[in-house]
Structure 1
Amino acid sequence: MTISPAILGQLPLPDIRAVIFYKRDQITTDLICCDVEVGGAVWTFHEETAGWSDLIKHLSALPGLRSDWYEAVVNPPFTTAETIAFDRR
């Protein structure tokens, strides 16, 4: 999957209910993931997906999105470190 403008169009900022970042232990590395709850569904993305930076730019426009989400997720390494970056549920 590619995070394309069409995908981002299905994630309208006013309709996003929650954004949760976490990481998955991949044995030698961690994979940063993001769940976006919108329209009663949860969309799951990860940092190796083409267009990840476009997703982060899009989500950064959410009012009140935690600006420190990355630091909260990456430390300590090899733990889940689930971080709720945005919540209007």
Structure 2
Amino acid sequence: MNITSDILAQLALPDIDAVAFYKRDEITTDLICCEVEVAGRVWTFHEEAAGWKDLIAHLAGLPGFRADWYAEVVHPPFAVSKTVAYQRR
């Protein structure tokens, strides 16, 4: 799924309950994924989708969003390493 401005509009920052990042083992590489929870619905995206950088820039506007999420997720290689980058309090 491409991450378009229409999709980002459905992920209004005040409505986001949680954001988590993890990676999937794709045999020879890892695929970084993101789950965004809004009103009980979980949206799943991955780093190879068009618009990934726009999604990350959008989510970075959340109060208390963990800017270190990437470093937490990438190591060690081929391990799930799920990291919660934002949780509504």
TM-score by length of 2: 0.98
Are 1:14 and 2:18 counterparts? no
- SS of the residue corresponding to residue 49 of structure 2 reads coil
**What is the identity, as a one-letter code, of the residue corresponding to 2:68?**
D
| Residues in 1 aligned to 2:74 and 2:22: alpha-carbon distance in whole angstroms | 8
The CA deviation at 1:69 is 0.1
Aligned to 2:46: 46
Q: Which runs of 5+ in 1 are unaligned?
A: none
**Sequence identity (%):** 67
- SS of the residue corresponding to residue 36 of structure 2 reads strand
Deviations 1:34-55 (A, max 9, x none): 0000021000000000000000
Aligned to 2:77: 77
Provide runs of 4+ in structure 1 moved above 4 Å: none
Q: Which runs of 5+ in 2 are unaligned?
A: none
- SS of the residue corresponding to residue 33 of structure 1 reads strand
After superposition, the CA RMSD in angstroms is 0.7
| Residues in 2 aligned to 1:76 and 1:38: alpha-carbon distance in whole angstroms | 29
Aligned to 2:36: 36
Count of residues in Structure 1 that have an aligned counterpart in Structure 2: 89
